[in-house]
């Protein structure tokens, strides 16, 4: 079983340096994938209300036999439930589907600035943490301006901001802001969503030099940036490969080569994207 390093968050809890993504898995696929991944050594699992697989994730955790306290379970608040009371109710629904007494990391999935209710949701999440129902609270797809507003209006910064991050879109400025504020960066779409990253000649060359796969090179790039990638896979061998990235290092030239390309966003722009 592969051992994974951890990061200490700004609330003194720990987060594994790599996790399992579950989008877009069905309930049954999520149950099988989570159970198998935990057996390989994964200890961070990421889901969301809008993934419609929280029940499967919870069943996978139970099926794995891994002690509950060893696993960090993340889920996310959907846009349609922004607001103080709505957030509290939505969390209870997520907790019920997961079959858990508490959730380790709860995130606001998208800021939806047009609705202008994410600060109200953040206040509810602070209460959930104070009540012991959530260990850590964070956000997803927030810009530096959104984060500054949370700090200004509540005095509480997120422990995590999960954002689109990959060599096509390395988010240098936002990662620097996170570092300055003590916020951990998590990476969604860490392998570039099948847009050719793993077939890139520069990535392949680094992989050949190191005797690893292109996917392992890219995931190692994330971990050396200090970000936490959450690659999705239900294939046991691919899960094992994705986790096995802590026994080698990219040198500075290789780190540069992996991300030396035209940078572009593959997902939604947080300033305008709306996902309810």
Q: What is the pLDDT of residue 262?
A: 78
CA proximity to 38, closest of 52, 58, 11: 58
Instruction: Tell me, yes or no, whether 66 lies in a domain.
Output: yes
Question: From CA 172, how far away is CA 176, in angstroms rounded?
Answer: 6
Instruction: Tell me, yes or no, whether 263 lies in a domain.
Output: no
- The pLDDT tens digits of the residues spanning 201-242 come to 999 999 999 999 999 999 999 999 999 999 999 999 999 999
Q: What is the pLDDT of residue 85?
A: 98
Instruction: Tell me, yes or no, whether 221 lies in a domain.
Output: no
Instruction: Name the domain count of the chain.
Output: 1
Q: What is the pLDDT of residue 168?
A: 93
Instruction: Please enumerate in sequence order all residues whose Cβ is within 8 A of that of 124, keeping only pairs 6 or more positions apart, or say none.
Output: 83, 84, 85, 87, 88, 91
Contact 189, 164 (CB under 8 A): yes
Q: Quick one: average pLDDT of 252-273? A: 93
- The pLDDT tens digits of the residues spanning 249-258 come to 999 999 999 9
- The pLDDT tens digits of the residues spanning 169-211 come to 999 999 999 999 999 999 999 999 878 899 999 999 999 999 9
Threshold 0.75, pTM exceeds: yes
Rounded mean pLDDT of the chain?
A: 97
Instruction: Tell me, yes or no, whether 61 lies in a domain.
Output: yes
Give Dmax over CA atoms of the chain in angstroms: 54
Q: What is the pLDDT of residue 193?
A: 85
Instruction: Tell me, yes or no, whether 216 lies in a domain.
Output: no
Query: 1 pLDDT band (50/70/90 cuts)?
Result: confident
Percent of residues, the chain, with pLDDT higher than 90: 96
Q: What is the pLDDT of residue 195?
A: 83
Give, to the nearest 10 degrees, the angle between helix 236-243 and helix 27-40.
Answer: 50
Looking at per-residue confidence, does 1 or 147 come out higher? Answer: 147
Instruction: Tell me, yes or no, whether 274 lies in a domain.
Output: no
Q: Is the pLDDT of residue 98 over 90?
A: yes
Question: Could you list the residue range(s) of the whole structural domain that residue 12 is in?
Answer: 6-193+227-233
Q: What is the pLDDT of residue 218?
A: 98
Q: Is the pLDDT of residue 260 over 90?
A: no
- The pLDDT tens digits of the residues spanning 21-35 come to 999 999 999 999 999
Q: What is the pLDDT of residue 14?
A: 98
- The pLDDT tens digits of the residues spanning 42-81 come to 999 999 999 999 999 999 999 999 999 999 999 999 999 9
Catalytic residues: 51
Question: From CA 4, how far away is CA 192, in angstroms rounded?
Answer: 23
Radius of gyration of the chain (CA): 18
Instruction: Tell me, yes or no, whether 104 lies in a domain.
Output: yes
* DSSP letter for each residue of 122-141: HHHHHHHHHTTSEEEEEEES
Q: What is the pLDDT of residue 2?
A: 84
Instruction: Tell me, yes or no, whether 26 lies in a domain.
Output: yes
Helix (H, G, I), strand (E, B) or coil at 194: coil
Q: What is the pLDDT of residue 263?
A: 87
Q: Quick one: average pLDDT of 129-148? A: 98
Q: Say which CATH number the domain at 70 has.
A: 3.20.20.100
Stated as kind and residue range, the H or E segment containing 16 is strand 14-16
The position carrying tokens 């959730």 is: 103
Tokens found for residue 69: 């306290």
């Amino acid at each position: 079983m592969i051992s994974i390093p951890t990061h200490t968050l700004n609330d003194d809890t720990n987060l594994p340096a790599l996790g399992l993504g579950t989008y877009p898995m069905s309930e049954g696929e999520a149950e099988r994938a989570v159970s198998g991944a935990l057996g390989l050594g994964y200890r961070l699992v990421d889901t969301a209300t809008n993934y419609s697989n929280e029940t499967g994730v919870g069943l996978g955790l139970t099926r794995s036999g891994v002690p509950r306290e060893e696993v960090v379970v993340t889920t996310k608040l959907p846009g349609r439930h922004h607001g103080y009371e709505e957030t509290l109710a939505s969390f209870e629904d997520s907790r019920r589907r997961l079959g858990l007494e508490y959730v380790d990391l709860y995130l606001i999935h998208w800021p939806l600035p047009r609705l202008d209710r994410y600060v109200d949701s953040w206040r509810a999440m602070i209460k959930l943490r104070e009540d012991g129902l959530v260990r850590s609270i964070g956000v997803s797809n927030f810009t530096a301006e959104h984060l500054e507003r949370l700090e200004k209006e509540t005095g509480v910064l997120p422990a995590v901001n999960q954002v689109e991050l990959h060599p096509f879109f390395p988010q240098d400025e936002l990662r620097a802001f996170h570092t300055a504020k003590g916020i951990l960066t998590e990476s969604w779409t860490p392998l570039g969503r099948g847009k050719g990253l793993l077939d890139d000649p520069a990535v392949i060359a680094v992989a050949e030099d190191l005797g690893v796969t292109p996917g392992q090179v890219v995931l190692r790039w994330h971990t050396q940036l200090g970000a936490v990638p959450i690659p999705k896979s239900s294939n046991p061998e691919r899960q094992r490969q994705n986790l096995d990235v802590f026994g080698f290092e990219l040198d500075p030239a290789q780190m540069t080569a992996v991300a030396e390309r035209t940078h572009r966003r593959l997902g939604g722009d947080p300033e305008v994207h709306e996902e309810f």
